[in-house]
Amino acid sequence: MKPTNEQNPNTGWYQLVNDGGSDRIILIGDFTLAALNERFKNLSAELTELAKNPDLCWDMRDIQHMDNAGIIMLWKAWNAQRPSQLILRDEHDKMLKRIEHLPTQTPESEQMRWMRPVYAIGKQAMLLWDNLTGVVRIIGQLLLDCVFFLRNPAHIPWREISANLFRTGAQALGITALVGFLIGIVLSYLSSEQLQMFGADIFIVNILGISIIRELGPLLAAILVAGRSGSSMTAQLGVMRVTQELDALTVMGISQSQRLIFPKIIGLGLAMPLLVLWTSAIALLGGIIAAEIQLGLNYYYFIYSIPDAVPVANLWLGLGKGIVCGMVIAVIACHFGLRVKPNTESLGEGTTTSVVTSITVVIIIDAIFAVVFSDVGII
């Protein structure tokens, strides 16, 4: 056996020898990331070039130490397949077998590339269906709880309902009043400028009355409650999932639905029509002040003209929107809160998804009411 070179001066990690006409490469030294260091790329290129010879015999018995970086470098040099002539120790064979059994990524075909949008749409459709079925389950459980409480009034969680009514209703009066007041002022100023052009100043009462009592009051209150109270409900249930309080309730035999979900839905369902009345009243107050400043319209006339300009059906329509939106917001918040996984990242994603979904559904409900009751309360 005559070595063609005692030790390659360019590498120091292999020797090329000739055994009676057959070429053999003897790998020596440490094939580790720390030992290879800056020589990693150059050595990998040299071994890749040598691996082009299919008759070359690879002898790995003289390797002292090898880690994942070294075996991966050899695997890539061999073009992801074991050489036909390979001599190695058992521990190196185990490392090589692990790499051989790793799943390989096949290049994406043209058809798969075109089908990618279809897969994305299908995934979102399945996610939507999963959420819809979850919401339906919560509504069904709510109906069963209502039947149970009607038969057993003593078990009604009055304290929990009262606490949720306070948190979602009384504590939301400030923000709803501020936003409603500013919206009333803006709407009154914009409407006044247009009505002054046609000398129809007195119709500001009709515009503000119909738009605020019928549409803006319920919609503003619902959006604010969805962002404030809906996110709070989702976060509360999510934290209880993270801290395993929900599991503890189950172990103690306490119904999550009756003690957590039912009070939230009923409490927000009762609070929302009251918030709608409050928001609409404050928005009308802002509109009255702006109309008096802009048009010189006496606020006594404004107050006495509202009952004649706005049929009472609009008020009931706004309250109906409030009840429906309030209960829907609570159902969505509870649904996403219960789906939170026991980690902080899922908690943030669940809260964000809950708020976005609630606001979207509120706008959809408002549009449905507008279409279905388009002839109610207009004349």
What's the CATH number where 6 sits?
3.30.750.24
28, 34, 37, 41 alpha-carbon torsion, rounded to 10°: 60
- Of the candidates 148, 178, 210, which is a domain's last residue? 148
Note whether 114 and 82 are same-domain residues.
no
Give a yes or no: residue 318 inside a domain: yes
- Amino acid identity, position 97: K
**Which pLDDT score is estimated for 263?**
92
Q: Are strands 14-19 and 63-66 parallel, antiparallel or unpaired?
A: unpaired
Tokens describing residue 73: 């470098």
Give a yes or no: residue 63 inside a domain: yes
- Of the candidates 122, 148, 174, which is a domain's last residue? 148
Note whether 282 and 189 are same-domain residues.
yes
Note whether 16 and 60 are same-domain residues.
yes
**Which pLDDT score is estimated for 109?**
60
Give a yes or no: residue 313 inside a domain: yes
Give a yes or no: residue 279 inside a domain: yes
pTM: 0.69
Give a yes or no: residue 129 inside a domain: yes
Closest CA to 284 of 273, 276, 295, 272: 276
Note whether 203 and 87 are same-domain residues.
no
Note whether 186 and 328 are same-domain residues.
yes
How many distinct structural domains can be found in the chain?
3
Give a yes or no: residue 378 inside a domain: no
Note whether 268 and 200 are same-domain residues.
yes
**Which pLDDT score is estimated for 20?**
67
CA end-to-end distance (rounded Å), the chain: 109
- Of the candidates 100, 119, 135, which is a domain's last residue? 100
**Which pLDDT score is estimated for 110?**
59
Note whether 335 and 233 are same-domain residues.
yes
Domain that residue 290 falls in: 157-372
Note whether 121 and 168 are same-domain residues.
no
Give a yes or no: residue 293 inside a domain: yes
Note whether 195 and 121 are same-domain residues.
no
**Which pLDDT score is estimated for 377?**
64
Could you read off the pLDDT tens digit of each residue along the chain, which spans 379 residues?
Answer: 444 444 444 456 788 887 766 788 888 888 888 887 777 888 888 888 888 888 888 888 888 888 888 888 888 888 888 888 888 888 888 888 888 777 665 555 656 677 778 888 888 899 889 989 999 999 999 999 999 999 998 888 899 999 999 999 899 999 999 999 999 999 888 888 787 777 777 788 888 888 899 888 999 999 999 999 999 999 999 888 888 888 888 888 888 888 889 999 999 999 999 999 999 999 999 988 888 887 777 778 888 888 888 888 888 999 999 999 999 999 999 999 988 888 878 888 889 999 999 999 999 999 999 888 887 766 5
Note whether 87 and 166 are same-domain residues.
no
Q: State the angle between helix axes of 262-295 and 299-309 in degrees (0 to 180), rounded to the nearest 10.
A: 130
Note whether 32 and 119 are same-domain residues.
no
Give a yes or no: residue 256 inside a domain: yes
Per-residue three-class SS string for the chain = CEECCCCCCCCCCEEEEEECCEEEEEECEEECHHHHHHHHHHHHHHHHHHCCCCCCEEECCCEEEECHHHHHHHHHHCCCCCCCCEECCHHHHHHHHHHHCCCCCCCCCHHHHHHHHHHHHHHHHHHHHHHHHHHHHHHHHHHHHHHHHHHCHHHCCHHHHHHHHHHHCHHHHHHHHHHHHHHHHHHHHHHHHHHHHHCCHHHHHHHHHHHHHHHHHHHHHHHHHHHHHHHHHHHHHHHHHHCCHHHHHHHCCCCHHHHHHHHHHHHHHHHHHHHHHHHHHHHHHHHHHHHHHHHCCCHHHHHHHHHHHCCHHHHHHHHHHHHHHHHHHHHHHHHHHHCCCCCHHHHHHHHHHHHHHHHHHHHHHHHHHHHHCCCCCCC
**Which pLDDT score is estimated for 6?**
43
Note whether 207 and 166 are same-domain residues.
yes
